[in-house]
Amino acid sequence: MKYSTALLAASCALALAACGSQDRPEDADPPSDATTVPAETTAPARDAPAVVDDGSSMAATDDHLGPDAAPAAGDGASADASAAGAAAGDAPATVSNCSTTIEGNDRMQYNVDSIAIPADCSEFTINLNHVGQLPVAAMGHNVVVTATADYAGVAADGLTAGAESDYVPAGDDRVIAATEMVGGGESTSVTFSTSSLDAGGEYTFFCSFPGHSGIMRGKVEVTN
* Contacts with Zn ion, 139-158, as mask; x by CB under 5 A: --x-----------------
* Contacts with Zn ion, 157-196, as mask; x by CB under 5 A: ----------------------------------------
Total residues interacting with Zn ion, rule: CB under 5 A: 4
In the bound state with Zn ion, the residue whose beta carbon lies nearer, of 64 and 141, is 141
Beta partners for 222? 117
In the bound state with Zn ion, the residue whose beta carbon lies nearer, of 11 and 151, is 151
- Least separation in angstroms between residue 30's CB and Zn ion is 16
Beta-sheet strands, E only, within the chain: 95-96, 99-104, 114-118, 123-130, 144-147, 177-178, 187-193, 203-206, 217-223
Binding Zn ion (rule: CB under 5 A), the pick from 30, 45, 212, 220 is: 212
In the bound state with Zn ion, the residue whose beta carbon lies nearer, of 48 and 168, is 168
Q: Residue 179: helix, strand or coil by DSSP?
A: coil
- Least separation in angstroms between residue 210's CB and Zn ion is 9
Rg over alpha carbons for the chain, rounded to the nearest Å, is: 20
d(CA 48, CA 61): 20
Cβ-based neighbours of 45, under 8 Å, separated by 6 or more: 37, 38, 52, 74, 77, 78, 81
d(CA 105, CA 130): 6
d(CA 221, CA 116): 5
Does 207 engage in binding with Zn ion (CB under 5 A)?
yes
- Least separation in angstroms between residue 164's CB and Zn ion is 17
Q: Measuring CA to CA, how many Å separate 54 from each of 51, 62, 85?
A: 5, 15, 10
- Least separation in angstroms between residue 104's CB and Zn ion is 6
- Least separation in angstroms between residue 16's CB and Zn ion is 32
Helix axis angle for 2-23 and 29-41, nearest 10°, is: 130
Binding Zn ion (rule: CB under 5 A), the pick from 77, 183, 209, 220 is: 209
d(CA 141, CA 105): 8
Does 130 engage in binding with Zn ion (CB under 5 A)?
no
- Least separation in angstroms between residue 50's CB and Zn ion is 21
Give the interface segment with Zn ion, choosing from 56-64, 85-93, 137-145, 155-163 (CB under 5 A). Answer: 137-145
Which residues are at the interface with Zn ion (CB under 5 A)? 141, 207, 209, 212
